[in-house]
Amino acid sequence: MKNNWMKAIALAVVCVMIGAGVGLTSQHASATEATTERVVVTSPFTQAIADVKGSVVGVRNYQQVRYSNGSNNWGDYFGFGFPFGGNGYGYGYDYGNGGNRQQPSTQEVLAGTGSGVVIAEHYVLTNYHVVEDASSLKITVAVDGQSDPELYNAEVVATDENLDIAVIYAPKLDLQPVVLGDSDSLQVGDWAICIGNPLGEEFSGTVTTGIISALNRNISSTDYDKYGRKETTTNTMIQVDAAINNGNSGGGMFSVTGELVGIPTLKYSGTAFSGATIDGIGMCIPINAAKPLINDVLSGVIATPEFSGEDDPATAASKGNTDMTGRPRLGITIKSINTYSSAVMNGSIPNGVYVDAVDDNGPAKAAGMQAGDIIVDVDDNVITSVSQLQSLIAQHGEGDTLKVKVYRVPGLADIAGNSSAEIPDGEYIDLQITLAVVDPVSQ
């Protein structure tokens, strides 16, 4: 009996232990199943990127390149030595004595690419340096499954070179505009989503993310103004650690709600003295700084040129008749400027067209133009060559008034033959010149 009793107790203990073991195993299985359930983590960027990515485009900058065609008179044409060239090209009452030299040929080539953001129907916001010196522009839109993007002719409507912003117009472009945010409400630590085309169109629509590292960074840069003269500007920018590379310029920096709050403009990649490599320091223009120019364009304060988009705007200006015989003129003699001279290369003077002489009886003289002036702009067209100026003038008739901007250095005409002379600072002067027939040619 005793043995049986002990066996019964042992059996009961074993049963209790087994029961406890079964219970533990069941609880452990439940815990394992709970921890292996699939958890879906939603990115805070996904929806914002989906909303705005299709509104970020590419911008192609085409420029005219001049090629030699075998002329043996390059010294006369370019004026090696002082920046004002050789025998020169007369315009107005004197066509000069340049002889029968051959003219160099020009060809339009793709000079660079950047990014832009659609801010209104047909309007794109980008950087000034993306469109700078362009003879024509094209907007590129990537298409899924196609190696080549869709192309849209475009032209510049308004720029602010100091802020490094530009608004361009593409009448055939039909993409959803983005919503402009409030960059003044940003805080350090906020998310930053940057979208653009780093390294060209092969990587179009690249998205990078980071945080806002700092606000109100005063960034000073020494650069050249739109006419080629050196100047120093300071802008207040947003610092981000999202990757920004060549080609991102003019794209968008967005908030997690998909609002455009900045324009990626530049990055720091290294130092010239130490050779140190720098990562994660990018700068964006606050969108609030760009809003005045945007509002001026969209409200009509700055008029959008009539442009169908069928013709390249750069070639449209060259379609006029350049034969000036008997046509109204400025009444000046002009020369090309040697763009490779030290005075131009170091920014002492702007590029443009040099006024060698002014007719005492001509409209330019009456408007205040002087020998030694450098014509840099006519009716908001940056002047870089004699042929361009002639083409613009040829499109106007007698009595038409032109807005002409010149750069004037007192006494510049007196030192024009001295290649070692130091050129003092000058100033830009705006003139209003009414065209007239200065010297009708007898038939």
Which residue in 76, 122, 129, 341 is the catalytic one? 129
122 in catalytic set: no
136 is catalytic: no
129 is an active site residue: yes
Would you say 381 and 392 are in contact if contact means Cβ atoms under 8 Å apart?
Answer: yes
Distance (Å, whole) CA 297 – CA 146: 33
* Cβ neighbours of 122 (radius 10 Å): 20
Q: How far apart are CA 415 and CA 194, in angstroms?
A: 51
In sequence order, which residues have a C-beta less than 8 Å from that of residue 17 and are 6 or more positions away? Answer: none
Catalytic residue among 249, 255, 336, 341: 249
The residues carrying an active-site annotation are 129, 164, 249
